[in-house]
Amino acid sequence: MSLLSRKRRLVATLRADRALHDPQWIDAFAEVPRHLFLRRYFVQTGYRWLAVEQGDAGWIDRIYADTVLVTQLDDDPDSWVRARREGPVIGTPTSSSSMPGIMAIMLEELRVTDADRVLEIGTGTGYNAALLCHRLGDSNVSTVDIDSTLIAKARAALAECGYHPYCLLDDGELGCPENAPYDRILGTCAVSRIPPEWLEQTRAGGLVVTTLNRPIGAGLVRITAGHGATGTGRVLARDGRFMPMRAHRLPPIPELPEDEMTEPGQPTSLSVTGLLTPPSRFEFFAGLELPEVCSLHGDGPGITWLAHPDGSWARQIDTSEGFLVWQGGPQRLWDRVEDAHARWLELGQPERSDFGITINRDLQEFWLESPESDLRWPW
Ligand SMILES: C[S@@+](CC[C@H](N)C(=O)[O-])C[C@H]1O[C@@H](n2cnc3c(N)ncnc32)[C@H](O)[C@@H]1O
């Protein structure tokens, strides 16, 4: 299949999935060659990562599919070379070319107009920066990544395609003050709180689009910048999950009990997987009510865990007679899930897009329906 047909097929997929609508972004996805940013990447095989490069079977097919392609593990610039030499390796993805579908959603949610000046946080491969350059012109695009190897490779790939945005090696949590103010900031790594510098560097009325890094109830937000480090925004109906900004990574999961459960389990009609993972409508609210709790797959089929950094845990098993729960540690985590679920039902089952955000330098909080609402959650 020709390159042109591959690009057209990717665009057709993104349109059919309702990720891409805007003619100018359609044109960008149809023109920018993703394969020049992905000469090497990883493919997951079980718990390990296999190193793939140009010329290997399936290399180009994955690139022009709506697939995230991981390019670095464990912040290690040599992770790909090691995996190529030793065979598939274990590791945590720390850079990727995101799913084109999520990229399209975020680019559209950014609502750019011609000649807008945009800062991208998280250059990664450079592919998203190339799409921005195609749409807005090189001189309107700045992009920053914290990793020197990645930024050097991205700069080279961008130049190969004829794009020359301002590429900066730095901590993107600080934005990129030298080219501020921006009309738009796009965060392509997830944040646990919106860095005040992003709002300070966006002109009043400009927009910040990014993903939230939360163990439960992550997703996309769009914030309208006010004056200084202030802003107000909404959680977006369209969902998207990204790898976290380095300094915003979540704490390690505390050890979970290994012993057999001797007490009888507590029966429940609520399922961890059904309620606390996408596409559950309750998930976002659960993240507000249980801010530091994470859910994990267990060591066997039908087993799931909840864990809190203070050592609290809940274990759920899906049996032929229904769900059974055990819980331990300082907090009764499962009881908190059931309470949160009851409260969500009482509130009329609000969805993620019913929530909004207010940000000041000292305070970031979510609210339900309107910034004046009494229903607020610190963030
Ligand atoms: C999902 S990738 C970005 C994908 C990229 N936009 C692309 O088109 O390929 C996330 C990137 O965020 C970068 N990152 C993590 N923490 C960062 C920080 N504090 N400042 C800037 N970049 C950061 C990582 O190095 C990684 O390359």
- In a domain? residue 337: yes
pLDDT at position 239, please? Answer: 86
At residue 253, the pLDDT reads 83
CA-closest residue to ligand 1 atom 26: 95
In a domain, 323, yes or no: yes
How many other CB atoms are there within 10 angstroms of residue 89's CB atom?
A: 20
Q: Atom 17 in ligand 1: which residue has the minimum CA distance?
A: 245
Q: What is the pLDDT of residue 258?
A: 79
Please check the confidence at residue 149 and state whether its pLDDT lies above 80: yes
CA of 157 to the centre of ligand 1 (A): 16
18-45 mean pLDDT: 98
Residues 6+ apart with CB under 8 A from 265: 317, 324, 325, 326
Q: In this structure, is residue 113 part of a structural domain?
A: no
Take atom 20 of ligand 1 and give the residue whose Cα is closest: 172
Verify whether residue 98 is a known catalytic residue.
yes
Distance in Å, CA 112 to ligand 1 centroid = 21
Bigger pLDDT: 144 vs 264: 144
Catalytic residue among 79, 96, 97, 98: 98
Residue 301: the pLDDT is 84
What is the pLDDT at residue 333?
A: 96
**CB-count exposure of residue 55 (10 Å: 0-12, 13-18, 19+):** exposed
**Is position 231 within any domain?**
no
pLDDT, tens digit (0-9, with 9 covering 90-100), for 46-103: 999 999 999 999 999 999 999 999 999 999 999 999 999 999 999 999 999 999 999 9
- Ligand 1, atom 16: closest residue by C-alpha: 245
Of 249, 267, 229, the C-alpha closest to 309 is 249
Residue 150 lies in a domain: no
- Distance from Cα 275 to the centre of ligand 1, integer Å: 30
pLDDT reported for residue 74 = 97
First to last CA, the chain: 49
Q: What pTM was computed for the model?
A: 0.95
Amino acid occupying residue 183: D
Residue 329 lies in a domain: yes
pLDDT tens across 268-314, in order? 999 998 899 888 999 999 999 999 999 998 878 889 999 999 999 99
Decide if 302 is inside a domain: yes
- Mean predicted lDDT score pLDDT of the chain: 95
Query: Which pLDDT value is given to residue 262?
Result: 79
Residue 39 pLDDT: 98
- How many structural domains does the chain have? 1
What pLDDT sits at residue 240? Answer: 85
In a domain, 104, yes or no: no
Residues in contact with ligand 1 (CB, 6 Å cut-off): 95-98, 121-122, 124-125, 127-128, 144-147, 150, 171-173, 188-189, 242-243, 245-247
Quote the domain boundaries for residue 273: 266-346
242-281 pLDDT, tens digit each:
999 999 998 888 888 877 777 889 999 999 988 998 889 9
Query: In this predicted structure, what is the pLDDT of residue 241?
Result: 85
* CA 221 – CA 109 distance, rounded (Å): 9
